């Protein structure tokens, strides 16, 4: 079993705590690696290393910074199969999705590398003669990046790629469930030529490492992906220090099926959206809102297809759904299934943990479908697992009302052949992302990603907006008139 320290100033070093923790395969219980458990003192060391490296890194020409990220993407592309298997081993998603996680990381690094040659500012005329006005982007400084376990390559690359190409240095706290993927990513960036101190990784518990990252005075910005409760805590702690904070949090994403929809296509989308990654995506389809005219047919088709899903070893290309990521995750999902039953939702299929071999050593929960009434807890609260609530509505207006009546607003979907309804849905669904005749999952890296309401605080990752989170705008006025000119003052 390989043992990892903390990654500080280009070296793997022991933690100040002297403690360690292990990462395991959620399908088998196998121990994969051991990691030093960081604490507040280690965050201090990481911040010192990032501070020392900042003035050198910010002077790197931005295109050269982009070249390092592009080289990292090339390394990942060569190792895609191996890295995809690592995702499957440590996080539990099926191998096709493990490789997809890696491919998304590659795609974004290739995309954001080009930002090193863009990073556009603006030029504009002055209101005064012989005067020139422009803006350009500058790095913020040291950035704290806190990432989740469900996309252990893609999400860190979204954040790290944008922060690094913009010239920031980083203190990186990965999820404790998937530190091996994070450490491997760090090694790849080091191999690609990232200088020591530019990226520093401190794994460890949120109440020590995460809190210290958020509150450290030298860390000027925080980028966080995780739960709403954790995001609120991050936001309140960081705002006390007037830090810039980007939050990407939960979702309770609706997929609407209208009576004119291609039902076979809608069922395929609902299955992939609900049970892909065992429902452990912030964009997962957790609510299926169906027009009453096709409700019975949709439910029958959905159950029939769900019964055919194959659960098992996520390394097997024929497996449709693997385990959930860990014991705490399993416990939370099972508790919500019980809540659904107690609230009167009708359990249609699934609802249990698989305890018999070969599932008994892992965290396997059956794909679960409820017939539910809007307002039940399972229709309002994020479960983050393979649990789908199916609800009947009378028409488009009710479907949109139900879809919007949650605290989240990340992703949304509608299946319809009616162009008018499709365009109305684009405008009326309260979400940062809307899909037409496609499931709620499937974001592409060259488009902004993020949500409204309690899903986030306005930040957008990926796409042309990716570097906004990690740059300051500098405005410059150049007066070559040779005399004092007074803007807005008439003489």
- Residue 104 host element (H or E): helix 95-113
Annotated catalytic, 330? no
What is the residue-averaged pLDDT of the chain?
Answer: 96
Nearest to 244 by CA among 275, 217, 265, 223: 223
pLDDT tens for 353-380 read 998 988 999 999 999 999 999 999 999 9
Annotated catalytic, 248? yes
The model carries a pTM of 0.95
Q: What per-residue confidence (pLDDT) applies to 491?
A: 65
Q: What is the DSSP string of 7-23?
A: EETTEEE--SS--EEEE
pLDDT tens for 13-56 read 999 999 999 999 999 999 999 999 999 999 999 999 999 999 99
State how far the Cα of 116 lies from the Cα of 164, in Å rounded to an integer. 10
Domains and CATH numbers, the chain: 2-249+456-475 (3.40.605.10), 253-436 (3.40.309.10)
- Residue 389 host element (H or E): strand 387-393
State how far the Cα of 468 lies from the Cα of 466, in Å rounded to an integer. 6
Q: What per-residue confidence (pLDDT) applies to 489?
A: 83
Residue in 90, 97, 215, 282 annotated catalytic: 282
| 431 — pLDDT class (breaks 50, 70, 90) | very high
Q: What per-residue confidence (pLDDT) applies to 73?
A: 98
pLDDT tens for 84-134 read 999 999 999 999 999 999 999 999 999 999 999 999 999 999 999 999 999
pLDDT tens for 259-301 read 999 999 999 999 999 999 999 999 999 999 999 999 999 999 9
Tokens of 305: 């297809």
Strands in 117-272 per DSSP E: 123-125, 131-139, 142-146, 169-173, 199-201, 219-225, 244-248, 253-257
Residue with tokens 């199969």: 81
Distance of alpha carbon 207 from the chain centroid: 21
Residue in 248, 330, 366, 428 annotated catalytic: 248
Q: What per-residue confidence (pLDDT) applies to 1?
A: 79
- Residue 342 host element (H or E): helix 327-342
């Amino acid at each position: 079993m390989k043992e990892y320290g903390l990654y500080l100033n280009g070296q793997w070093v022991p933690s100040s705590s002297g403690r360690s923790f292990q990462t395991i395969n959620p399908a088998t219980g196998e121990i994969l690696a051991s990691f030093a458990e960081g604490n507040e003192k280690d965050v201090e060391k990481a911040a010192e290393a990032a501070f020392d490296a900042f003035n050198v890194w910010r002077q790197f020409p931005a295109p050269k910074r982009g070249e390092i990220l592009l080289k990292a993407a090339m390394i990942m592309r060569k190792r895609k199969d191996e890295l995809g298997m690592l995702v499957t081993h440590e996080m539990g998603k099926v191998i096709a999705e493990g490789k997809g996680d890696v491919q998304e990381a590659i795609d974004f690094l290739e995309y954001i590398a080009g930002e090193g040659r863009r990073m556009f500012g603006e030029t504009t005329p002055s209101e005064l003669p012989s005067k020139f006005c422009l803006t350009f982007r500058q790095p913020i400084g040291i950035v704290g990046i806190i990432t989740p376990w469900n996309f252990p390559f893609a999400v860190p690359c979204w954040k790290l790629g944008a922060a690094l190409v913009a010239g920031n240095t980083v203190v990186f706290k990965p999820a404790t469930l998937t530190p091996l993927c994070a450490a491997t990513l760090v090694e790849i960036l080091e191999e690609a030529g990232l200088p020591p101190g530019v990226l520093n990784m401190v794994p460890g518990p949120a109440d020590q490492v995460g809190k210290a990252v958020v509150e450290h005075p030298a860390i000027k910005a925080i980028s966080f992906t995780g739960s709403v409760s954790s995001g609120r805590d991050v936001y309140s702690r960081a705002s006390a220090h007037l830090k810039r904070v980007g939050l990407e949090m939960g979702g309770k994403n609706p997929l609407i099926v209208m009576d004119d929809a291609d039902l076979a296509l809608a069922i395929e989308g609902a299955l992939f959206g609900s049970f892909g990654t065992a429902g452990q995506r912030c964009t997962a389809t957790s609510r299926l809102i169906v027009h009453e005219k096709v409700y019975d047919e949709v439910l029958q088709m959905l159950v029939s297809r769900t019964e055919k899903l194959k659960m098992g070893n996520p390394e097997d290309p024929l497996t449709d759904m693997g385990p959930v990521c860990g014991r705490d995750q399993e416990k939370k999902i099972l508790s919500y299934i019980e809540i659904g039953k107690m609230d009167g939702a009708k359990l249609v299929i699934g609802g249990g943990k698989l305890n018999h071999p070969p599932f008994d050593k892992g965290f396997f929960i059956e794909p679960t479908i409820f017939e539910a009434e809007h307002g039940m807890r399972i229709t309002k609260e994020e479960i983050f697992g393979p649990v789908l609530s199916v609800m009947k509505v009378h028409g488009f207006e009710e479907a949109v009302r139900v879809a919007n009546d949650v605290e989240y607003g990340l992703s949304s979907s509608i299946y319809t052949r009616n162009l008018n309804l499709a365009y109305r849905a684009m405008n009326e669904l309260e979400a940062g992302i809307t899909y037409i005749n496609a499931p709620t999952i499937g974001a592409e890296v060259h488009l902004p990603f993020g949500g409204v309401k309690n899903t986030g605080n306005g930040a957008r990752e990926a796409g042309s907006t990716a570097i906004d989170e990690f740059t300051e705008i500098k405005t410059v006025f150049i007066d070559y008139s040779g005399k004092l000119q007074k803007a807005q003052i008439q003489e």
